[in-house]
Amino acid sequence: MSESRTLDVRVIPPREKHPTIFGTFAALKPGESFVLVNDHDPKPLRFQLEFEYAGQFGWTYLEEGPAVWRVEISRVAA
Protein backbone atom coordinates (compact mmCIF):
# COMPACT_ATOMS: atom_id res chain seq x y z
CA MET A 1 0.00 0.00 0.00
CA SER A 2 1.26 3.47 -0.82
CA GLU A 3 1.93 6.12 1.80
CA SER A 4 -1.32 7.41 3.27
CA ARG A 5 -2.35 11.04 3.04
CA THR A 6 -3.68 12.74 6.15
CA LEU A 7 -7.00 14.56 6.27
CA ASP A 8 -7.39 16.50 9.52
CA VAL A 9 -11.07 17.39 9.70
CA ARG A 10 -10.72 19.16 13.04
CA VAL A 11 -9.94 22.34 11.09
CA ILE A 12 -12.79 22.00 8.57
CA PRO A 13 -16.16 23.70 9.21
CA PRO A 14 -18.77 21.11 10.28
CA ARG A 15 -20.98 21.39 7.19
CA GLU A 16 -17.96 20.75 4.93
CA LYS A 17 -16.56 17.72 6.79
CA HIS A 18 -18.53 14.85 5.26
CA PRO A 19 -18.44 16.21 1.68
CA THR A 20 -14.66 16.64 2.04
CA ILE A 21 -14.21 13.13 3.44
CA PHE A 22 -16.41 11.53 0.78
CA GLY A 23 -14.61 13.48 -1.96
CA THR A 24 -11.25 12.30 -0.64
CA PHE A 25 -12.46 8.70 -0.55
CA ALA A 26 -13.98 8.90 -4.06
CA ALA A 27 -10.61 10.03 -5.45
CA LEU A 28 -8.80 6.96 -4.08
CA LYS A 29 -7.74 4.15 -6.39
CA PRO A 30 -7.90 0.56 -5.12
CA GLY A 31 -5.04 0.03 -2.67
CA GLU A 32 -4.79 3.71 -1.73
CA SER A 33 -5.77 5.13 1.64
CA PHE A 34 -5.86 8.24 3.76
CA VAL A 35 -5.72 8.83 7.50
CA LEU A 36 -8.68 10.70 8.92
CA VAL A 37 -7.92 12.77 12.04
CA ASN A 38 -10.86 13.90 14.18
CA ASP A 39 -11.68 15.02 17.72
CA HIS A 40 -14.31 12.31 18.27
CA ASP A 41 -15.01 8.75 17.17
CA PRO A 42 -16.10 8.95 13.52
CA LYS A 43 -18.25 5.80 13.82
CA PRO A 44 -21.32 7.47 12.18
CA LEU A 45 -19.12 8.15 9.15
CA ARG A 46 -18.28 4.46 8.97
CA PHE A 47 -21.99 3.65 8.78
CA GLN A 48 -22.42 6.18 5.96
CA LEU A 49 -19.48 4.71 4.06
CA GLU A 50 -20.92 1.24 4.51
CA PHE A 51 -24.22 2.42 3.04
CA GLU A 52 -22.60 4.22 0.07
CA TYR A 53 -19.59 1.97 -0.56
CA ALA A 54 -20.42 -1.44 0.94
CA GLY A 55 -17.49 -3.82 0.53
CA GLN A 56 -15.29 -1.17 -1.11
CA PHE A 57 -13.43 0.27 1.87
CA GLY A 58 -11.24 -0.68 4.78
CA TRP A 59 -11.44 0.97 8.21
CA THR A 60 -8.59 0.68 10.71
CA TYR A 61 -8.42 2.62 13.95
CA LEU A 62 -4.87 3.91 14.50
CA GLU A 63 -5.65 6.00 17.60
CA GLU A 64 -8.85 5.89 19.66
CA GLY A 65 -9.17 9.09 21.68
CA PRO A 66 -9.94 10.50 24.01
CA ALA A 67 -8.72 13.76 22.43
CA VAL A 68 -7.67 12.56 18.97
CA TRP A 69 -9.04 9.80 16.77
CA ARG A 70 -7.08 8.58 13.75
CA VAL A 71 -8.56 6.14 11.26
CA GLU A 72 -6.97 4.76 8.12
CA ILE A 73 -9.63 4.55 5.42
CA SER A 74 -8.65 2.57 2.34
CA ARG A 75 -10.28 1.69 -0.96
CA VAL A 76 -10.37 -2.00 -1.73
CA ALA A 77 -11.19 -3.59 -5.07
CA ALA A 78 -14.94 -3.97 -5.50
Number of folded domains that form the chain: 1
pLDDT per residue over 15-73, tens digit each? 999 999 999 999 999 999 999 999 999 999 999 999 999 999 999 999 999 999 999 99
pTM for the complete prediction? 0.91
Domain that holds residue 42: 5-75
Reference 72, options 17, 30, 32; nearest CA is 32
State the CATH number of the domain containing residue 71: 3.30.110.40
pLDDT at site 1: 43
Q: What pLDDT does 77 receive?
A: 82
d(CA 35, CA 69): 10
